[in-house]
Amino acid sequence: MSRYRGPRFKKIRRLGALPGLTNKNPKAENDLRNQLRLGKKSQYRIRLEEKQKLRFHYGLTEQQLLKYVHIAGKAKGSTGQVLLQLLEMRLDNIIFRLGIASTIPQARQLVNHRHILVNGGIVNIPSYRCKPRDIITVRDEQKSKSMVQNYLDSSSHEELPKHLTLHPFQYKGSVNEILDSKWVNLKINELLVVEYYSRQT
């Protein structure tokens, strides 16, 4: 299954706010109308929707998300917590959380078009896993800097999670540590996602 490229507002009306997919928010009355129309949800549907939230927010294919679930399952600690940490430490998500891009698809485009450096070297793989002490900078070219400046000017300047530091005038950000799950900016029950996949196998 390929990455979703359809209407974004349609997804957030059904699943709720997905800040990584779009910075628009569904209206509360639409949420209530959908709940009344759909009636009581089955346990399967609840788990499926939590999985879909994760997938669309981070812009993953089904195969990519399944791969992350397998990696998280083999790691020490809570599978759900490790899964969120793996997704949050992706390069495209780090760029989005720093405010260098306004959505994860925009961040992915910056990476694919070679506008981003990690520790001084160009990285054009959005799924690159960042580590503590990594330095993310914008390429020292006018085109790259002007694109990023537009994103920085239009971003809502939400509080940065504690695992990141941004130096906007230097077009630079740094990863301080592995993310604490309380800083995930998505309303998600990650345990339901793990349960969804455990019941598929």
CATH 3.10.290.10 region(s) of the chain? 90-177
| CATH code assigned to 8-86+185-200 | 1.10.1050.10
* Structure confidence at residue 44 (pLDDT): 86
User: Who contacts 13 (Cβ-Cβ below 8 Å, separation ≥6)?
Assistant: 26, 30, 31, 34
* Structure confidence at residue 32 (pLDDT): 47
- The C-alpha atoms of residue 19 and residue 200 are separated, in whole angstroms, by 28
Q: Which class is 90-177 in CATH?
A: alpha beta
Other C-beta atoms lying within 10 Å of the C-beta of residue 77:
9
* Single pTM value for the model: 0.83
CATH 1.10.1050.10 region(s) of the chain? 8-86+185-200
* Structure confidence at residue 7 (pLDDT): 57
- The C-alpha atoms of residue 196 and residue 26 are separated, in whole angstroms, by 25
> Which stretches of the chain score pLDDT less than 50?
1, 28-30, 32, 36
* Structure confidence at residue 89 (pLDDT): 93
Burial class (CB in 10 A: 0-12, 13-18, 19+), 71: middle
Which DSSP state fits 19? T
